Chain A
Amino acid sequence: EAQVTQNPRYLITVTGKKLTVTCSQNMNHEYMSWYRQDPGLGLRQIYYSMNVEVTDKGDVPEGYKVSRKEKRNFPLILESPSPNQTSLYFCASSANHNEQFFGPGTRLTVL
């Protein structure tokens, strides 16, 4: 089954404790991205990757890192999480820049 998976789905952590949210797709898509969703602000892109070892900043990259060592995986790293990073995070992939397939989401709370 073609899908995008994310883990964990829910995470409560404390300020400053490094965390990683994993994202994996099995559709051989070149393009992957991370979004955060906050009430009234829609989906804002954090980082994106057009292929292995190619990543670039989206609209709200501050406080986040990503890596793309393999085509299927695109982890999101928060080196020192802060409360303003409490949000719902979605990973997405696409064969081009057009239709995006979203993962199930990760709800992160930073205390």
Chain B
Amino acid sequence: GENVEQHPSTLSVQEGDSAVIKCTYSDSASNYFPWYKQELGKRPQLIIDIRSNVGEKKDQRIAVTLNKTAKHFSLHITETQPEDSAVYFCAATDSWGKLQFGAGTQVVVTP
């Protein structure tokens, strides 16, 4: 089955700086890679996703890149703000179409 590894587990950044979270996956048939944000005490919510036929996707201050050859994908947050503080999860679909999540990254944005 699919195995998704996510790094780092915690990330502290100064407000205004950029944050990068990296994930690797094992199943070369994976074709969908979403990122979820979970604020404290809340449910995970989709913030951006990318499919295997696209190398990069951007939505305002967040962007995701995908390297299919290396089987890794990354989330980039620019100009971080305090409201970006949350746990971020990457995920990848396995060859059965089932989502497998990474362990999560706790992002703390300090003013």
Contacts and interface: CB of A to CB of B under 8 A. Distances in A.
A96 to B, nearest CB: 8
Nearest to B97: A97
Interface centre among B99, B101, B102 (most CB of A within 10 A): B99
A99 to B, nearest CB: 5
Contact of A102 (B1, B43, B97, B103): B43
Contact of B98 (A40, A41, A45): A45
Interface size class of B (residues with CB under 8 A): 20 to 34
A99 B46 contact: yes
Interface residues of A, number: 20
Contacts, number: 48
A48 B98 contact: yes
Interface centre among B34, B44, B46 (most CB of A within 10 A): B44
B89 A99 contact: no
A73 interface: no
A98 B89 contact: no
Contact of A98 (B6, B45, B49, B101): B49
B34 A98 contact: yes
A98 B100 CA distance: 11
A97 B102 CA distance: 17
Interface centre among A41, A45, A97 (most CB of B within 10 A): A97
Interface centre among A40, A41, A48, A100 (most CB of B within 10 A): A100
B89 to A, nearest CB: 6
10 contacts: A35-B101, A40-B103, A42-B6, A42-B101, A45-B99, A45-B100, A59-B1, A97-B32, A97-B93, A98-B99
Interface of B: 1, 6, 9, 32, 34, 42-46, 49, 89, 93, 97-104
